[in-house]
Chain A
Amino acid sequence: MNDHMPLLTIPPQKTHKSFFEETGEKVLQIGDSFNLAFNFLGDITVSFYRLILGKSYFRWEDFYLLIKRCGVDTLLLVSLISLLVGMILAFVASIQLKMFGAQIYIADIVGIAMVRVLAAVMTGIIVSGRIGASFAAELGMMETNEEVDALKTLGVSPIEFLVLPRVLALVLMMPVLTIYADLMAIVGGFFISIWMFHLNPLEYLNHTQAAVHLSYVWIGLIHSFIFGVIIAMAGCLRGIECKRDAAGVGNATTSAVVTAITGIVIATAIITFICQVLGV
């Protein structure tokens, strides 16, 4: 072997970008991310239209399995978290209300807060971590294993075959899970009020019924529908865009959860503002 031949050629070191350069680049990427997300939403809408026309390649058996998965995988967590949030809300409300001897209004606070917004937000966060992340990991692995390429070369749209069933399953299941979370939270508040504050059970239920208008239920359902779209889109988009390297699937999963939760908070703020303006 030639003694003068270097054993290892060290590539020239990359010059590190300054904090401001990196921040600037990230800010400029926000526009691209929005562009990508809207294009993806457009593709999903076109696929849904093709499904209605009966032209889409949609596997109903996958859809039913996904519906089951979205429900079964999250039910226990939704039960626990909603029950506890209902209890916590009852405790916190009681701190002020007991000073005025108005503890019966715990029922109003728990009912209105959970049904209007909190049950949907809590369910959305649980579903982001449980289902959105699994969508990203699953599609990321499929991208890495060239399964998505295999679909494309067969002339099958990955949006129709992989993304649309996931989006529809989650959009369908989110309102169901939210209604269930509403009930669990009310049960949590009920138990604390009866057990700790010795309120009359019938009076508590009557107060809840009077406070929670049907319009609040609809507002909660609108939240959950929009959250379903956000979570499914974030999971599927991050999965499909997954890089084919060791960190790719991990990054896609993390990014899916972060994107979904950020989207949920932003959407909640927008819906709340709109409801306020409309006086609902």
Chain B
Amino acid sequence: MKKILQITLGIITSVGGFLEIGSVTTAAQAGALFGFQLLWAIALGTICLIFLVEMSGRLAAVSKHTIVDAMRERFGFPFFFFVLIGMVLVAFLVLIAELGGIGFALQILSGLGFPLWALPVSLVVWLMMWKGTFSLIENGASLLGLVTISFAVAAWKLNPDWSSVGASLLPTLPEQDKVKYGYLAVSILGASISPYLMYFYSSGAIEDEWDRSYIAMNRVIAGFGMTLGGVLSICVLIVAAIALRPKGVQVDTFPQAALLMTTALPRWGFYLFAFSMLFACFGAALEISLAIAYFFAQGFNWNWSENLEPSKNARFAFVYTIIILVSAVPLMLHVDPIRVTMLAMALTSATLPLAIVPFLFLMNDPIYLGKYRNGWITNSVVGIVVLISFVLAIISIPLQIFGG
């Protein structure tokens, strides 16, 4: 019974964690510009993420190491530090984007510009980290994030041609705007396959004291949770394709994105979007702050646990305090969160090999996983992901310049 509850909570967390400003913005832009054509990118990203998250949980349950623990030990300090820099810089950009997302949601609700909300928002996020426990954060933010199910309701109400939707699971090239298409595909993959999710998930498994008996449960959570999250992203794309594309409305700004569900849900669509973004970005901001702080704390073996009061893990608390407060600064200076989002998504794609290649080595190391090492299917899927992400890494940066 307890396990069923844990599975449910785990799935809810995964759903809540999937949708955030990156996945919503990229899916909405894709739908508005290319209809259903980029659906395959969301599907592919989701499949990859399922495997990666399952691996994160399995590593923690079997070896009692988080990914970062194992990476430092296996590859030594210089390599670890190199990965730290890359991962933290990109995660920091994503954090700025998420805080911006919360600020934008408050802007469209109140009329007050997001720069004014930046500092109050970051203080609230910080306070949750300072005073909250891991379960409170994980479960509380995720339950609130369930309001994002409204995207699925909107998609269903718009009655899409489901056979077209299904056909779009296979990649096709558009007739025009190939550069923009490619850039959006890269961004969607970067939005779906977020390394911070892997680090957060493996840390959570250790915080929740998983052992080998959790391996099956881990598969269920990773599989169902990420699938549901991916489905919600696909719903955002469908809604944009049906409600925005025929009118030629592009999603270049957040106020335009806010119109997403006003056709499907005439009375409540606007407010459901605002609250969906508010809670989804809030949850993501918490996860990213934790993921960054975990990276430092686990890498250097400081005390770390969200369940301890701050003075008992001072360096860990210090790191998240600094990053949350500093990430508010660009927003206060009117830097556009949508721009930051698109940049962060492309950079995530570009740095995916840095995160995934060492992880793949670890998942095949008998010292850490014994008989629970990766099978050939997992290795193949992840291997293909690494290949695609590497190719995308080469393409994404010039595309950023052309299409951005």
A in complex with B: no
- Name A residues whose Cβ lies closer than 8 Å to a Cβ of B: none
